A and B are shown apart, each in its own frame.
Chain A
Amino acid sequence: DTEVTQTPKHLVMGMTNKKSLKCEQHMGHRAMYWYKQKAKKPPELMFVYSYEKLSINESVPSRFSPECPNSSLLNLHLHALQPEDSALYLCASSHPQTGYGYTFGSGTRLTVV
């Protein structure tokens, strides 16, 4: 299995809703990442987990809350989002130190209304 699977593929949520994005990989990678990508822009790093511990938080607002329950799963909990948070959210995984096998999921297209 050489894939990173993200669910859901599309999500529309209101500003008062609580929702979660899910990411799963079975490649044995011990680093997992969340990126945010706006249209016609490069992905921007949000969070890095290494060996199930949060190692990087790129000053992301607290309305985004990551969670890594085990070495295969990564969640992103969303609460009280703003319309400007609408974007493609990409999950990725890799070998931690070397970035070997750095693989992205197909993303969740989030719309906040």
Chain B
Amino acid sequence: AQTVTQSQPEMSVQEAETVTLSCTYDTSENNYYLFWYKQPPSRQMILVIRQEAYKQQNATENRFSVNFQKAAKSFSLKISDSQLGDTAMYFCAFMKHYSGGGADGLTFGKGTHLIIQP
């Protein structure tokens, strides 16, 4: 079974600062996918970024980037030029690659509540 650990229950930064959220995971799988999701107070789960484990290049999406260290099983999220709208709960999630016709669900960390102060 996989486990995902987010060690920062809450973080607070000033608007326009850069913030890094940490995530570590444990798995015996070699082929898998990692995700960061944002959940604002509306509770809509919004995909921020997705990383394929077989790709060494770190994924980026505009102000969001990850630092993926496969050997260390670490997958941190960096948010640059933080904005008030970035205030939300952020979940790190793991999904193993499923061969054949199956599919796997996401295993989530407990989340980090990020607050962007004006």
Contacts and interface: CB of A to CB of B under 8 A. Distances in A.
From B45, B47, B97, B101, residue with most partner A Cβ within 10 Å? B45
A43 B108 CA distance: 7
Given A42-B91, A43-B106, A99-B95, A51 B101 contact: yes
Given A42-B91, A90-B45, A102-B47, A48 B101 contact: no
Interface string B79-118: 0000000000001000101110111111111110000000
Q: Is the interface of B mostly helix, strand, loop or mixed?
A: loop
Q: How large is the interface on A (under 10, 10 to 19, 20 to 34, 35 or more residues)?
A: 20 to 34
A50 B49 CA distance: 23
13 contacts: A43-B45, A43-B106, A50-B101, A50-B103, A92-B106, A96-B98, A98-B33, A102-B35, A102-B95, A102-B106, A103-B47, A104-B44, A104-B46
